Amino acid sequence: MSGINVNFPETLYQAVNELARREHMSIQQFITFAVTEQIAHFKRTDYLTERAKQGNKTKFKQAMSKVQANEPPLSEHGTLIDLYNLARSYQQWGETAKAIAYYEQALTMSQQFQDRPANGVILRDLGQVYRNLGQMDKARDYLQQAWAIFEEIKSPYAEETRQLLAK
């Protein structure tokens, strides 16, 4: 095994400590679990992105037309990931209006879950969508919100987002 030292803001440390205690695990176990979950999320997103590139837009639309238009249950964190992945898929297909709608649903859900990293990623992606549409004021607003979150949580995405704002 390899080891790393990580500095957390005090409030984050307290939250991790409380959750680890509640789940009857050490802080190290809790952090290992959380990192494993995050890696799985990124790998799943990468996999789905690659699969989407190989997809057929007509078949995708046919399949989506068969899905009931029900609101997803807000209690399932997996739904947030599903909404985000749908937004990315529609963005890649060039269906910007649908992408924005799914990003906004995912953003609302991530705010309800108080999931700051997800908030930042979704805001950053919305900023990029609006930049691609030429709506620079909206793009800048979303990117600034994302950058503030990434700075607050000390995310590696902070620098990338700062560079997007500088363009």
Sign of CA dihedral 11, 17, 18, 23: positive
75 has a pLDDT exceeding 50:
no
Angle between helices 96-112 and 116-132 (to 10 degrees): 160
Q: Are residues 22 and 67 in the same domain?
A: no
Q: Are residues 129 and 95 in the same domain?
A: yes
Q: Give me the pLDDT at residue 74, please.
A: 47
| Whether the Cβ atoms of residue 62 and residue 81 lie closer than 8 Å to each other | no
Residue 124 sits in a domain of what CATH number? 1.25.40.10
pTM: 0.58
Among 31-40, 84-93, 118-127, top mean pLDDT goes to: 118-127
Average pLDDT over residues 60-78: 63
Residue 15: inside a domain: yes
Determine the residue type at 91.
Q
Q: Are residues 81 and 126 in the same domain?
A: yes
Instruction: Tell me which residue range forms the domain holding 161.
Output: 55-166
Residue 3: inside a domain: no
As given in the structure block, the two tokens for residue 146 are 């994302």
Average pLDDT over residues 5-30: 82
Average pLDDT over residues 47-74: 71
DSSP 10-76: HHHHHHHHHHHHHTT--HHHHHHHHHHHHHHHHHHHHHHHHHHHH--HHHHHHHHHTS--PPPPTT-
Q: Give me the pLDDT at residue 70, please.
A: 57
As given in the structure block, the two tokens for residue 19 are 């959750």
Q: Give me the pLDDT at residue 152, please.
A: 92
Split at pLDDT 50, 70, 90, the class of 25 is: confident
Residue 50: inside a domain: no
Q: Are residues 62 and 37 in the same domain?
A: no
Q: Are residues 59 and 35 in the same domain?
A: no
Q: Give me the pLDDT at residue 37, please.
A: 79
Q: What is the 3-state composition of the chain as percent helix, strand, coil, each rounded to the nearest 5? A: 75, 0, 25
pLDDT tens by residue, 106-129: 999 989 888 889 999 999 999 999
Domain count of the fold of the chain? 2
Round to whole Å and give the CA distance between 72 and 81.
Answer: 12
